[in-house]
Amino acid sequence: MKVSGGGRCNLTHACFDIVEMSKRYPRGTHFVKKTFHQFFTKDTIEWFKERGVETKAEADGRMFPVTNSSQTIIDCLLREVDQYNVQINMQCEVKEICSEADMFVLQTSTNQKLTADYICIATGGFPKATMFEWLKNTGHTISAPVPSLFTFNLPKHPITQLMGVSVADAMVKIAGIKLQQRGPVLITHWGLSGPATLKLSAYAAIELADKNWQFDILINWLPEYNEHSLKEFFYNFVMKAVLNCCIIKTLLVCHSGFGNSF
């Protein structure tokens, strides 16, 4: 948490529409929608406010504590932990979860046996499916993890010679699948990056893993135009340029004509 949000902790987003916010979770839309009805952005802001943490929204919707320090959030959560006498066991890995006589029994790496009526598993993600093995006893279905939020590597592609060029508005598509993302694209020395690329890698994470990350990318560098409007734009552009040339030529001719008469 200390390093989150560049040390400021981007604790929520100024989006107050549950449907809109749910769409941002492509593989969990329905799940988060249900959860958001229980606790949403407004509740997060109020929860922290009630505990003395004021928040502010930035122009792009990201919300931070007004102190601009993630330590404010850490301190707030630790105060809450103290208030409810929550015990934190550091360096203590849960190795196995079993159920015995209507109770959960947790076996830890420190050779402790903990019993509980309820357990909440919030262990974050793991890069490999095998790392979820210890959870199998709980009966949950484990989806194989795939990478997300990555840039596109285009080894030796000539476009990399344009490294450093950033295009404010482009449409990035993956050939053969319906997903696409529009927004800023950055050309780097290894391929493509920027918000549109990163978002597309997240939305298409499963499809790209199925393709073993070998795929063709289609980029529309002028997404605000279609074939017809682009032709019209070029025509007008060329016509204007030709007209300007004619005017300049005429002026030059006139000018040299005057010159001669003086």
CB of 233 to ligand FAD, least distance (A): 41
List alpha helices for the chain, DSSP H. 4-7, 18-22, 29-38, 41-50, 70-83, 195-203, 205-210, 227-261
Residue that the structure tokens 């006589």 belong to: 101
CB of 151 to ligand FAD, least distance (A): 16
Of 4 and 236, CB closest to ligand FAD: 4
Of 171 and 201, CB closest to ligand FAD: 201
Of 110 and 250, CB closest to ligand FAD: 110
Name the token pair of 230: 């682009």
What's the CA angle centered on 121, arms 87 and 28, to 5 degrees? Answer: 140
The 10 Å CB-count burial string (b at 16+, else e) for 97-109 is beeeeeebebbee
CB of 234 to ligand FAD, least distance (A): 44
CB of 93 to ligand FAD, least distance (A): 4
Provide the 10 A C-beta neighbour count for residue 146: 15
Report the Cα 182 to chain-centroid distance in Å. Answer: 13
- CB nearest ligand FAD: which residue? 124
Q: One-letter amino acid identity for 13? A: H
CB of 5 to ligand FAD, least distance (A): 3
Binding site for ligand FAD (CB under 6 A): 3-5, 9-10, 93-94, 122-124
Of 125 and 155, CB closest to ligand FAD: 125
54 burial (CB, 10 Å; 0-12 / 13-18 / 19+) is exposed
CA dihedral 234, 240, 245, 246 (to 10 degrees): 130
CB of 224 to ligand FAD, least distance (A): 32
